[in-house]
Structure 1
Amino acid sequence: MQIKKYRHWIIIYAVLAVLLISIHYLLDLNIFDSWDEYIPLMKKLSLSLFLIALIFLVSTIVGRIVNSQNQIEGEKYNLLRIIRFLAMVCSLIVVISFLFQSLYGAALSFGLISLVVGFALQAPITSFIAWVYLVFRRSYLVGDRIQIKGFRGDVVEISYLDTSIWECSGDYLGNDRRSGRIIRFPNSLILREEVINYSGPEVPFIWNETQIQVAYTSDLQFVEECLLEAAVRDFKEQHANLADQELEEWEPAVYFRINTFAWMEAVVSYPVEPKDTTGRRNRILRYALPLLNAAPEKVKFPEGSMR
């Protein structure tokens, strides 16, 4: 679908470019002598439009090449945004050159306009500068799960002025699943707030933990073995492509702590992909509880009013 879209626009820009450059040279024919006073303006206009069509043709071809490469989706998204931005800047230069006869006049006018616009649009300009910072610093990419100023979610779009994230948790959920709400915040926020990125190609996992309550009379070694077995089993099933040495790096651990209600908590700490925290917790419990319940003489659970 994406390839067809690029092909469609490449054909349109190519036809426009050929048509406009043809008009530019056809205006030299004698049949247009009666339009002498308009010919220079029409030739300049046709040439300017030809250059704009050529700029967008080249940018679309480059965009198609980038889109066909096997790159991280977030990096590909940023490259396409940069290509689109450069095409707009080059087109703007062509338009300014058409409106002003001399390059000096164009530069002077552009400087004055920039000064006025700079004072009037400080916030959007700051957000645009933050977008440039994001592109090169890569604080987060499309698809990453981030947290900034109380907002947490998966990045779905990074535009020139703002970022859109698909909220997770939120006001209606007690887990890390997506809530369905879209949060948009100005890019300038990253220049004055800390950004927490849960995702990334270098460190694909974060550490999470799940606890169950057991009695002091339980066989703690047996409980530990059951929780570790459940965590290791699920991790190997979900990430069978990891080598043995990588699996060792992400080995789970179990520790015990005192619960507020006088019970002991057995806590299993394990690595998990940021978007799979709820699913992994459920799978570990489904694997571990049958093992624990199969040995009631070794494992005691809260009962009655103290449950």
Structure 2
Amino acid sequence: MKMQKTNKWILIYGVIAALLIALHYVLQLSVFEVWNEYVPFLEKLSMSLFLIALIFMVSKIIRKLINTRAHLEGDRYNLLRITRLLAIVSSLIVATSFLFQNLYAAVVSFGLISLIIGFALQAPITSFIAWIYLIFRRPYLVGDRIQINGLRGDVVEINYLDTTMLECSGDYLVNDRRSGRIIRFPNSLILKEEVINYSGPDFPFIWNETPIQVAYTSDLEFVEECLLAATNRDFREHYRHFAAHEWEEWEPAVYFRINTYAWMEAVISYPVEPRDTTGRRNRILRYALALLNEAPDKVQFPEGTLR
């Protein structure tokens, strides 16, 4: 659907550009000599509108190429934003040159206006500079889960002045699921605060751990085997796109620690995709408890009022 819409706009801008350039040369015919007073103005206007239509047609063609060739969602989003910005800036330059009759005056006027606006709109300009930083340094992309200034969520849009993300966790949840609230913060915040990216391109997983309380009399070796078996089973079933690779550095591990009360904790540490922390923990617990409950002579769970 988006590709058809893009093709439609390419055709529209192409037809408009063709009509405008044809009008520009038609105005030079002798039949219009009676309107000599207005012909230069109309010629310049038609040429300016032709250039603007051409700019937007080229931008649509570039957008089409980006949508068909860019693979990463975040990279594609940034390239589309840059293309749109360049088209708008180029159109403004053409429009300003028409108003001031020559390009030199347009550039000077554009510089003076930019200087005045720079003093009046320091905060938005800082956010725009931060957007340029986001484009080149890429601390996060659309689709990444990040944390900044105590806020955590999934990035859904990066505008020229602000970033929009869907909050996860938050005030009403104790897990990592999306809360349903939308967070918008100015891009300038990334220049002052540290940004934690849970979805970096180099590492597809983050580490998570889930404790299970067992009695001191349990067979710890058997408990470890059950936890590892449950974790590996879930990985094979739900992470099939990674199962074919050798992920030695992402091997799960089990360790034991002493609890404050009268039991110990068997803790399984495992890799998980940032958006699947709650789901993977639940699946591992279901698989592991089924295995542990099958051997009550080897695994005892805490009992009593302190459980």
- The match for 1:90 is 90
Specify the alignment match of 1:110 in structure 2.
110
Q: TM-score, normalised by structure 2?
A: 0.96
Q: 1: CA distance between counterparts of 2:283 and 2:107?
A: 64
State the match for 1:141 in structure 2: 141
Q: Does 1:202 align with 2:202?
A: yes
Please give the root-mean-square deviation of Cα atoms over the aligned residues, in Å.
1.3
Q: Structure 1 residues 103 and 245 mapped into 2: Cα distance closer, same or farther (>3 Å)?
A: closer
Partner of 2:257: 257
Q: How big is the shift at 1:32?
A: 2.3
What is the letter of the counterpart of residue 180 of structure 2?
Answer: G
Residue by residue, what CA displacement relative to the aligned partner does 1:3-49 show, whole Å, maximum 9, x if unpaired?
11101111111111011111111212233223211111111011001
Q: Quote the Cα distance in structure 1 between the aligned partners of 2:233 and 2:141.
A: 31
Structure-2 residue corresponding to 1:54: 54
Q: Which residue of 2 aligns with 1:158?
A: 158
- What is the Cα deviation at residue 201 of structure 1? 2.4
1:25 and 1:260 mapped to 2: Cα distance?
A: 89
Q: Give the Å deviation of 1:263.
A: 2.1
2:74 match: 74
Maintained 8 Å contact 2:97/2:105: no
Instruction: For residues 28-76 of structure 1, give each alpha carbon's deviation from its aligned partner in whole angstroms, at most 9, with x where no partner exists.
Output: 2233223211111111011001000000101101110110115111111
Structure 2 unaligned residues grouped into runs of 5+: none
| 2:229 maps to 1:229 | yes
Matches of 2:71 and 2:106, distance apart in 1: 40
Q: How far apart are residue 244 of structure 1 and its match?
A: 6.0
**2:247 partner SS:** helix
Query: What code does the residue aligned with 2:142 have?
Result: V
Equivalent-residue separation in structure 1 for 2:298 and 2:178 (angstroms): 39
Offset from partner CA, 1:247-281 (integer Å, 9 cap, x none): 32211011111223332111100000000001100
Q: What amino acid does structure 2 have at the position aligned with 1:223? A: V
TM-score (norm 1): 0.96
CA distance in structure 2 between the partners assigned to 1:255 and 1:244 by the alignment: 26
1: CA distance, partners of 2:42 / 2:107: 23
2:299 is equivalent to residue 299 of structure 1: yes
Question: Partner letter of residue 264 of structure 1?
Answer: M
Shift of 1:245: 5.8
8 A contact 2:235–2:243 mirrored in 1? no
- Counterparts of 2:202 and 2:24, CA distance in 1: 53
Distance (Å, rounded) in 2 between the aligned partners of 1:13 and 1:173 = 49
SS in structure 2 opposite 1:91? helix
How much identity, in percent, do the aligned residues show?
72
Cα drift, residue 243 of structure 1: 5.8
**1:277-296 aligned within 5 A:** 277-296=277-296
Q: Are 2:169 and 2:178, in contact at CA under 8 Å, matched by a contact in 1?
A: yes
Which residue identity lines up with residue 295 of structure 2 in the other structure? A
**Distance in structure 2 (CA, Å) of the matches to 1:18 and 1:245:** 54
Residues 210 and 267, structure 2, Cα contact 8 Å, conserved in 1: yes
Counterpart of 1:210, as a letter, is T
Q: Is the 8 A contact 2:205 2:273 kept in 1?
A: yes
Read off the aligned partner of 1:229 and give its amino acid letter.
A
2:180 is the alignment partner of 1:180: yes
Q: 1:123 aligns to what?
A: 123
Between 287-296 and 103-112, the greater mean CA deviation after superposition: 103-112
Aligned-partner Cα distance in 2 for 1:245–1:20: 57
- Offset at residue 301 of structure 1 (A): 1.1
User: Counterpart amino acid of 2:91?
Assistant: S
